[in-house]
C-alpha cells in the first residue's frame, strides 16, 4: 500500500495548523512547484522593487567593507615598516655613532661611513640586526594575510548576491539540488522554509567550488558571457590560486596552481616547488582586480534583473568610486571607472549629465594616478562645447588650462546651481589648481576669501 504524507504549516502563536498538500512518496516534485515557478506580471514587479534596495545596499556594504580593508591593510603595513626603520635608526645607526669610531667616509656619499667598534658593541649591533631581520620577515606575511581577508570578504558578499538572485528566481536552482525526500520536507513548517533550505544547499555547493565555476554559474543563469563581460578574469583566477598557496602550502607552488594557470592560459614565472611571494605591490594590484571582478558581476546581474534602474546603478557605482578617490585610493578608483566608462558607452539610456560626470571623474582619477595623456584622451572623446560651465571648467582643470579656469570660475559659480566655492576647495578635480600660485591669488581676488582655510 502506497504511503501518503500530509504537509502542515503552523501559523503564528495560536498553532492553528493549515494543511498545505497531501502527497505520495512518488510525487515529491509537486510540493516544489511553488518554488519552481517564475513569478510574472505584477507579482514579479513587487519582488523586484523589494529587492532593488537590497541589491544596492549589498553593493554599498561591499564597497564600505573594501574601503575599510584597504585603509586598514595599508596603514598597518606602512606603520610596521615605519616603526621598524625608526627602531633600526635608534638601535643600530645611532648606537654605532655613539659607541664606534669613524674610520672612513665616502667622498661621493657622506651617508656611506665605516666605524670601528669593540667586541661587546659588535655583539649588541649583531643582536639588533638579527631582530630587525626577524621583524622584517614577520612583516612580510601581512600582505598574504590581508589578501586572504580580501578574498574571504569577496566570497561572503558573492554568496549574499547569489542568495538575492535565488530569492527572486528560485527556478534557477540546479535540478540536482532539488532532490529532497518526503522525510526531509516534513522537517520544515512551511514551503518558505523548504525554499530557504534549497537555496542554502545551492549556495553551499557553489561556494565549495572554484571561483571561476561560481562566476560561470552566475553568467549561465543570468545569460551573459563570462569571458566578454568580466574584466580581469585571468588575473583574478591567479590571485585566488595564489591565496590558496598562501593558505595551504605556505606559498610553495603546487601542481594544482600550475595546472589551473595552464588550463586558463595564464602566464606564470613559477614552477612546482617555487616560493610564490605576496608582497605589498602584488597585494595592492590584487585589491583593484578583486573589487573590479565583484563590480563586473554585480553590474551584469543587476542589469539583467533591474533594467529600468540601470541609470541609478551607474550613479551608485560612480559615488563609490568617487569616495575612493577622495580617500586617496586612486588606482582602485581608476579601475572601477575604467569598467563603468566602458559600459556607459553601450547604454544609451544613461542621462547626459551622468555620462559627463563619470567621464570627468574617470579622467581625473587617471591624471591623479600619473596618466595625464590618457586622461586627456578620455576627455577629448566627448564634445563639451554645449556643456554648462561647471563641466567645462572641470575639463580645463584636468588639462591644466589654468587661464581658462581663472577666466570662467566666477561665471561657473554664478550660473550653476550645484557649483559653488567649496567645489574649488574640495573636489579632487581641482587638486593641482590648489597648488597653483596664480590660481590661488586670482581666487582670493575674485571671491574675497581664502582658498585654503589654514
Contact 233, 227 (CB under 8 A): yes
Please report the pLDDT score of residue 392 as a whole number. Answer: 95
CA trace torsion 164, 169, 173, 178 (10° rounding): 110
CA distance 372 to 369: 8
Note the pLDDT of residue 74.
Answer: 81
Task: Please list the pLDDT of the chain residue by residue as tens digits (454 residues).
Answer: 444 444 445 555 454 554 444 444 444 455 455 555 444 334 444 444 455 678 889 999 999 999 888 888 888 887 877 777 777 777 788 888 888 888 888 877 777 888 888 888 888 888 888 888 877 777 788 899 999 999 999 999 999 999 999 988 888 888 776 677 777 777 878 778 888 888 999 999 999 999 999 999 999 998 888 777 777 899 999 999 999 999 999 999 999 999 999 999 999 999 999 999 999 899 999 999 999 999 999 999 998 888 888 899 999 999 999 999 998 899 999 999 999 998 988 888 889 999 999 999 999 999 999 999 999 999 999 999 999 999 999 999 999 999 999 999 999 999 988 899 999 999 999 999 999 999 999 999 999 999 876 5
| The C-alpha cell that represents 194 in the structure block | 523548504
Residue 193 is predicted with a pLDDT of 84
CA distances from 385 to 352, 358, 395 (A): 13, 17, 11
What pLDDT is stored for residue 4 in this prediction?
46
Amino acid at each position: 500500500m502506497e504511503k501518503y504524507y500530509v504537509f502542515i504549516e503552523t501559523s503564528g502563536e495560536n498553532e492553528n495548523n493549515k494543511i498545505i498538500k497531501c502527497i505520495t512518496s512518488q510525487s515529491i516534485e509537486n510540493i516544489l512547484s511553488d518554488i519552481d515557478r517564475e513569478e510574472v506580471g505584477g507579482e514579479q514587479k513587487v519582488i523586484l522593487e523589494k529587492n532593488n534596495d537590497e541589491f544596492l545596499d549589498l553593493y554599498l556594504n561591499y564597497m564600505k567593507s573594501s574601503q575599510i580593508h584597504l585603509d586598514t591593510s595599508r596603514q598597518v603595513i606602512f606603520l610596521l615598516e615605519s616603526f621598524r626603520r625608526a627602531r633600526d635608526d635608534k638601535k643600530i645607526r645611532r648606537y654605532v655613532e655613539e659607541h664606534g669610531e669613524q674610520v672612513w667616509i665616502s667622498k661621493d656619499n657622506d651617508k656611506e661611513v665605516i666605524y670601528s667598534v669593540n667586541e661587546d658593541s659588535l655583539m649588541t649591533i649583531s643582536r639588533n640586526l638579527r631582530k630587525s631581520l626577524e621583524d622584517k620577515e614577520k612583516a612580510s606575511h601581512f600582505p598574504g594575510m590581508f589578501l586572504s581577508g580580501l578574498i574571504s570578504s569577496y566570497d561572503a558578499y558573492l554568496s549574499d548576491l547569489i542568495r538575492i538572485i535565488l530569492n527572486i528566481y528560485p527556478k534557477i536552482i540546479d535540478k540536482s539540488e532539488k532532490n529532497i525526500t518526503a522525510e526531509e520536507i516534513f522537517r520544515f513548517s512551511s514551503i518558505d522554509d523548504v525554499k530557504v533550505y534549497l537555496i542554502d544547499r545551492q549556495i553551499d555547493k557553489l561556494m565549495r567550488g572554484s571561483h571561476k565555476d561560481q562566476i560561470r554559474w552566475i553568467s549561465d543563469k543570468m545569460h551573459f558571457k563570462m569571458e566578454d563581460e568580466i574584466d580581469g578574469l585571468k588575473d583574478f583566477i591567479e590571485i585566488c590560486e595564489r591565496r590558496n598557496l598562501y593558505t595551504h602550502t605556505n606559498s610553495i607552488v603546487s601542481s594544482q596552481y600550475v595546472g589551473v594557470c595552464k588550463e586558463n592560459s595564464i602566464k606564470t614565472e613559477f614552477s612546482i616547488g617555487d616560493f610564490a611571494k605576496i608582497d605589498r605591490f602584488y597585494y595592492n594590484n590584487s585589491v583593484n582586480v578583486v573589487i573590479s571582478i565583484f563590480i563586473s558581476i554585480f553590474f551584469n546581474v543587476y542589469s539583467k534583473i533591474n533594467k529600468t534602474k540601470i541609470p541609478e546603478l551607474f550613479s551608485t557605482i560612480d559615488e563609490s568610486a568617487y569616495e575612493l578617490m577622495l580617500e586617496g585610493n586612486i588606482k582602485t578608483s581608476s579601475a572601477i571607472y575604467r569598467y563603468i566608462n566602458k559600459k556607459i558607452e553601450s547604454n544609451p539610456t544613461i542621462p547626459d549629465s551622468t555620462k559627463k560626470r563619470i567621464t570627468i571623474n574617470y579622467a581625473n582619477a587617471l591624471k591623479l594616478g600619473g596618466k595625464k595623456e590618457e586622461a586627456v584622451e578620455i576627455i577629448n572623446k566627448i564634445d563639451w562645447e554645449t556643456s554648462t560651465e561647471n563641466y567645462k571648467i572641470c575639463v580645463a582643470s584636468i588639462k591644466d588650462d589654468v587661464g581658462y579656469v581663472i577666466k570662467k570660475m566666477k561665471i561657473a559659480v554664478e550660473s550653476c546651481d550645484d557649483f559653488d566655492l567649496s567645489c574649488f576647495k574640495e573636489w579632487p578635480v581641482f587638486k593641482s589648481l590648489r597648488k597653483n600660485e596664480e590660481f590661488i591669488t586670482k581666487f582670493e581676488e575674485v571671491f574675497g576669501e581664502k582658498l585654503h582655510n589654514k
